Each structure stands twice: as structure tokens, then as C-alpha cells.
Amino acid sequence: MNIVITPKPLAGRVVIPPSKSISHRALICAALSKGESEITGVLECEDIDATTDALTALGAEIRTENGVTYVKGIENTPSYAEINCHESGSTLRFMMPVCAALGVETVFTGAGKLPTRPITPYLDQFPKHGVEFVSDTFPYHIKGKLNAGVYPVTGDISSQFITGLMFAMPLLEGASSIVLTSPLQSKPYADITVNCMRSFGIETLEINGNYNIKGVQHYTPAKFTVEGDCSQAAFFAVANELGSNIELVGVNKNSVQGDRAVFNIIDSTISINGSYSGFDIDASDIPDLVPVLTVLACFAEGTSHIRGCKRLRIKESDRLVSISTVLNSLGADVRIVNDELEINGVKELSGGVCSSFNDHRIAMSLAVASQRCTSPLTITGAECVAKSYPTFFEDFRALGGEYDVVIV
């Protein structure tokens, strides 16, 4: 599906969708609880469907009625399961330790770029703690039951490995520790995990950047509400800086979500007569914001630098390449310098045809950039937004955005 957008500013009120990160975590905690939990505001998207299907394969019962998702926890785990993670790296990296902790022999399949996304910490640590990789290439096949102990893990690939181990460790027979061998990037996502697990009765102890978790803990059912997703709010917040007038509803600017940083970044720019200054940031903790912040930087006065972008190369696309390629094709001045972006501001972009690279955050960032284009902008493969924000273009239109859909 291609979207052809007529450039214009947006205006109106948008309800920010629930956090995908929190939705994943709440569903997993609820499924590991004995009894029924009620979760209000679970995001509906392809990635969350993947996690829901994975938990159902393990024996959880999940249904949604009137905006509330009821999760009856796993009672009898199967001896064997096949889990299709689709394109969700979160589902794969969260569920692999959970299945190992439950002792479920599991085959993990998926699609898109998922087979290329690394699981190095698990390949290293699982065999040392009782779990065999029957297949250590995609599709992955694990067998055995995870043992308690010390897990040295690098922190510079993805915090998702930390979260996956956190989910598993309370289920083990003894105390365990996650010892970081390099600084943890995207730490706010680990903080989300700690907060969510606490809501379901699990305690973790962070000491000097490492995580200590007692075994034989019990997840307990809870009533839980998923707050708005700061990473999705970022698209409309940046649109406002480019000239739109959008009221964002349902976002907590004091959230534990690291992506709340978008509001501080925007506030830090100095606006004068409709223009604003460039910025210099480290995106190590906020990788999901980089595509739309690159759009913001395109129209800033002077030069902006976005640093700490190494892990963007292993997302749904190589986002350093994809965002620079599409914006430069429209007349932007974006340079990749090692694993950083250097952006020289311009006044406007031309229209044209841009690939989404089958990456939801690239597609939505382009839609935001369209309001500063001088002619229509076509985004190919725009259906990829279903991965995290299926109603994005509906909300875009409700705010006055004009576009035509071309089915190819």
C-alpha cells in the first residue's frame, strides 16, 4: 500500500495509543500469574498480537472486552511449543527466557528482518545454565530448563535481553544476578520492566547497575492500566514544532518511559519567529526516537548531531541508512558519521517517492516530514505502520491530513 500525502500542517486533538513496551510487559507478567488479571488499554498491533499468541501457546487464556484485556495465567505448561514471533524482536527476546524457565521445549519462528536480529547473550548464557540450543540459527530451537545463577550480559546490544532474563529469574529455584559487562543502553526500558514486575508482585534489586532477583517468587494477578506511548506521541510533538497545532491526549510527560525525552529535546531548542535551533543529543537510551528527531533536525537552524546510534543498524531496517536515504532524496542534508547522524538544517523539502523500508518508524517519520514538502510525498509500503500503530494514518487524516491510498 502506498500513501500519497498532500503537504499541509495538522491541527486538532489526538489520543495517543497505549505504550507497546508496557503492553508487552504487562501481558507477560499477567500470563505468569496464578489467576486472572485485568489490563486496561493494551495496544492492538502486530507486535502485541505476536506476544499474545506466544503466551496462548504456553497455556494462557487471553480475551479482550470493551477495552479491557483479561488474562488467565498459565496453569499447565506444555512440554513443547512452537512460537511464531512474526517480526517482533521484543517477543522473541522476551519469550525465549520465559520458555526456558518454564522448561518448555520451544521452536521460535518469525519473518522479515527478525532472523537477522542478534540473540548473542542467550547463545552464550543458556548452555551454561541448563538450556540447549538444538538449533542456534533461525528458526531457533531450545530444550531444557533454565538454572539460577550469575548471568554476565553485555549491555550494548539491547536492553531486551535484560528484560527477558528479568521475567524468567523469579521462576527459577534460586537467586540469580544479571551482571552487565558493558554499560546498559536503553536503560529506561529496563526500568519499565522493573516497574511492571513490581505491579505483579515481583521484586528486583538493582545494585551498581546490576540486577539481583530472588528465585521462587510468585507473579500475582493485578488490575493494570497501560499509559500512552511516548514514542508514538513523539511524531505529533515533532509535527507541532514543524508548524502543526495538535493537542496530545493521554501521554504522561513524567512517565518512566525513556522516550518522554522528546519533550525535553523539543523544549531545549530555542524558537525564534517560527524557526528553532539545532541540537546535540546522545540517543543511546532513546533509539526509537531517532528517525523522527532526524526529521526535526532537518529544519533546525544550523547543524544537529544525534549520537549513540549504533543499535539502529539492527532494527526493522538499518535506520541510519534508511532515514538518511529517504530524507536526502527529498533535499535534506543528513550525513552518517560512523554510528552518528550529522544534520544540516534546510528550509523545506521537495516532494517525491520514498520507500518506508518496511519500517514503521520510517513511514511515520516521513508522514511528519510531509508538511514541510513543496509537493506531494508518496510513501511506499506504508502498511508497515501496523507493526506498532495501525491507526496512525486514520489519526493523521482526523487531524486534517490529506492523502490518497494506492493499492499495489
pLDDT in tens, 262-286: 999 999 987 777 789 999 999 999 9
Residue 272: its pLDDT value, please?
Answer: 73
CATH topology classification for 20-219 = UDP-n-acetylglucosamine1-carboxyvinyl-transferase; Chain (3.65.10)
What pLDDT band is residue 56 in, cutting at 50, 70 and 90?
very high
Percent of the chain with pLDDT over 70: 100
* Catalytic residue ranges: 288
C-alpha dihedral, 161 to 258 to 239 to 43, nearest 10°: 60
Alpha-carbon span 180 to 167, nearest angstrom: 17
Buried b / exposed e along 197-236 (16+ C-beta atoms within 10 A) = bebbebebeeeeebbbbbeebebbbbebebbbbbbbbbbb
Identify the DSSP state of 344.
Answer: E
Homologous superfamily (CATH) of 2-17+228-406 is Enolpyruvate transferase domain (3.65.10.10)
Domain ranges of the chain: 2-17+228-406, 20-219
Q: Which residue has the cell 512517565?
A: 255
Q: How far is CA 331 from the centre of its chain?
A: 29
Alpha-carbon span 174 to 130, nearest angstrom: 14
Joined grid coordinates for residue 158: 539491547
Joined grid coordinates for residue 347: 528550509
Q: Do domains 2-17+228-406 and 20-219 have the same CATH topology?
A: yes
Joined grid coordinates for residue 230: 511516548
The residue-averaged pLDDT of 123-139 equals 97
Mean pLDDT over each residue of the chain, to the nearest integer:
96
pLDDT in tens, 371-381: 999 999 999 99
* Rg of the chain on CA atoms, in Å: 21
The residue-averaged pLDDT of 130-134 equals 98
8 A C-beta contact, residue 199 and residue 172: no
pLDDT in tens, 11-46: 999 999 999 999 999 999 999 999 999 999 999 999
What pLDDT band is residue 314 in, cutting at 50, 70 and 90?
confident
Residue 99: its pLDDT value, please?
Answer: 98
pTM over 0.95? The answer is no
Distances, alpha carbon 22 to alpha carbons 51, 145, 168, 227, 336, in Å: 12, 27, 17, 8, 32
- Neighbouring C-beta atoms of residue 328, cutoff 10 Å: 14
Residue 159: its pLDDT value, please?
Answer: 93
